[in-house]
Amino acid sequence: MNFKNLCRPILAVTLIVTPMVWADTKVALDVEHPGSQINKNIYGQFMEHLGRGIYEGVWVGEDSKIPNTNGYRNDVVKALKELKVPLLRWPGGCFADEYHWQDGIGPRDQRPKGVNTNWGGVIEPNSFGTHEFLNFAEMLGADAYVNGNLGTGTAKEMAQWLEYMTSDSDSTLANMRRANGRDKPWKLPFFAIGNETWGCGGSMTPEFYGHLYKQYASFLKTPADNTPILIASGGTDDRLDWTEELSSLDPVFAYRIEAISHHYYTVPTGVWEKKGNALGFPEEEWASTMSRTLHMEEILKKNLAILDKNDPEKKLGFYVDEWGTWYDVSEGDPGFLYQQNSIRDAVVAALNLNLFHQHAERVQMTIIAQMVNVLQAMILTDKEKMILTPTYHVFRMHTPFQDATYLPVSLTGNPEYKLGEHSVPKISASAAKDKDGKIWITLVNTNPSDSEIIEVEGKYTSLVGEVLSADKMDAHNTFEAPNTVTPVVFKAKASNGKLRLKLPAKSVLVAELK
């Protein structure tokens, strides 16, 4: 972890050297039996044409007073580079199935204006299109994931988009790309055929979609050295029928299926009509948020069991390409899905990441929704102002886990945090070994009130990293007070051969074990 690269000074230092006589919870790492590589794309980001996610959030245009480089705002780009964003998904979401790529190329002042029927009915200027997205991914050094339009587009339109992006030939479409300012094709590692085809993407059954998938995929032809992984649009929440159907499609000539997506959002109340507030919520909603987040484990296990049955050779990836908290909109246009982000979101992010690490063999991509100004965002902007959210800090603290090797972790002790009908383990943990041989551990305390004494078993003599915690359950950063929730350095040293630490209430710790 490079502390020099942090966006702001670390405000305080927690140094724990005091011997603690007992530990409530013991953590043991199995370094002898490493698991799979944690694909860096588990830390993927989503940018949809939704609210201020792209326009204002990322793209302000070259003539904006907001400092920018080629139209991309400088402050946001700098913050995202520190996150080492590995993967960017675009243009949606529900937006993808109404997006016609030819509207977003050529001179910006001549692009057609559409209506964003999914998100607020606002005018879509199409000034952020294929070039702006793929150049942005390159600027960040991120893999590009383009979501194709199955709902209202044709197989021809989809095939031509791929040709436009990836062909180095003398074809009319490749030359059109060159005329629009891009000589060489972009790298396109991921392409999806539709989004949420059970809902906004066309209200289909898995069987109907399966047929369409095969039809469309048959025509997606790309150069051998620039062939994207093809992603089938899968299920949501507890539905298993999509994974079942898509993982058992008959293999036929020409079509490929390499990954199945799945979406699961944490809605505190579990009721979409009244999801709960981002701030000022009762402890009951803290507890329900924790338990609904950890429900991801059951979703993963059940879907992965289906895949293990239908695809024992493990050719198919399971991509959770939309996850995160979804609250009632706190301000602005209800269609813009803008919500504040508190220490609760930080804990939610870390719990999910621990689960994804554990299942890294099949779960090779996950994408939080969404990157800027939408749902569980990394970054919030208000015109020229920008703040980093607690979720951003969790992602930045976890960068050593990208492409590291998972190390199994077992917990003993570990009391439950209980409130009303909700009960979750107080501590969640995961560990990994990075390419330099350093061992990293994440510890998460789901209890909003009580700290926990934890012993890390083994011959470790110290631990150094960062912890993110806060005084209140809904502590958050604002444009006036941007550092209310910010990580602090955390160190612990072994005493009498035991490495013990006090993990604060409602916290996320990421540290190197030495």
Question: Dihedral angle at the C-alpha atoms of 443, 320, 365, 60, nearest 10 degrees?
Answer: -100
Residue 48 annotated among the catalytic residues of the structure: no
Active-site residue (options: 285, 322, 452, 466): 322
Largest Cα span, the chain: 74
510 binds ligand AHR (CB under 6 A): no
Bridge partners of 422? 419
- Complex with ligand AHR: residue 93 or 400, whichever CB lies closer: 93
Restricted to residues 31-50, the positions that interact with ligand AHR (CB under 6 A) are: 48
Nearer to ligand AHR, 119 or 186 (CB): 119
Smallest distance, ligand AHR to C-beta of residue 93, A: 3
Q: Nearer Cβ to ligand AHR, position 353 or 367?
A: 367
CB of 121 to ligand AHR, least distance (A): 15
CA distance 451 to 401: 25
- Residues within window 308-337 making contact with ligand AHR, judged by CB under 6 A: 322
CB 352 → ligand AHR: shortest distance, Å?
15
**Token code pair at residue 353:** 């990441």
**CA dist 269 → 249, 278, 422 (Å):** 36, 12, 12
| DSSP annotation of 16 | E
Q: Of residues 72-101, which lie at the interface with ligand AHR (CB under 6 A)? A: 92-94
How many residues interact with ligand AHR (rule CB under 6 A)? 10
CB of 276 or CB of 425, closer to ligand AHR: 276
Tell which one of 68, 130, 149, 195 touches ligand AHR (CB under 6 A).
195
Q: What three-state secondary structure class fits 196? A: coil
Give least dist CB 372 to ligand AHR, A.
13
Q: Which amino acid is at 60?
A: V
Please report where in the chains the tokens 């490493």 appear, as a residue: 34
**Active-site residue flag, 258:** no
- Cβ-based nearer residue to ligand AHR, 195 or 288: 195
- 198 phi and psi, to 5 degrees? -80, -15
Question: Using CB under 6 A as the criterion, what x/- string covers residues 263-302 for binding ligand AHR?
Answer: ----------------------------------------
Beta carbons within 10 angstroms of residue 376's beta carbon:
27
- Shortest reach from residue 376's CB to ligand AHR, in Å: 10
403/440 Cα distance (integer angstroms): 12
**Residue 93 preceded by cis peptide, ω within 30:** yes
Distance (Å, whole) CA 134 – CA 183: 13
Question: Shortest Cβ contact with ligand AHR: which residue?
Answer: 93
- For the record, the structure tokens of 45 come out as 């980001």
Pick out residues in 345-384 that bind ligand AHR (CB under 6 A).
369-370, 375
Residue span 439-478 as binding mask against ligand AHR, x where in contact by CB under 6 A, dash where not: ----------------------------------------
**Of the residues 48, 132, 163, 196, which is catalytic?**
196
Cβ nearer to ligand AHR, comparing 374 with 427? 374
CA neighbor of 42 nearest in space, from 409, 480, 332, 432: 432
Which of 174, 371 has the CB closer to ligand AHR? 371
d(CA 431, CA 434): 10
List C-alpha distances in Å: 472 to 102, 297, 448, 452: 48, 27, 8, 17
* Residues involved in catalysis: 196, 322
Residues interacting with ligand AHR, by CB under 6 A?
Answer: 48, 92-94, 195-196, 322, 369-370, 375
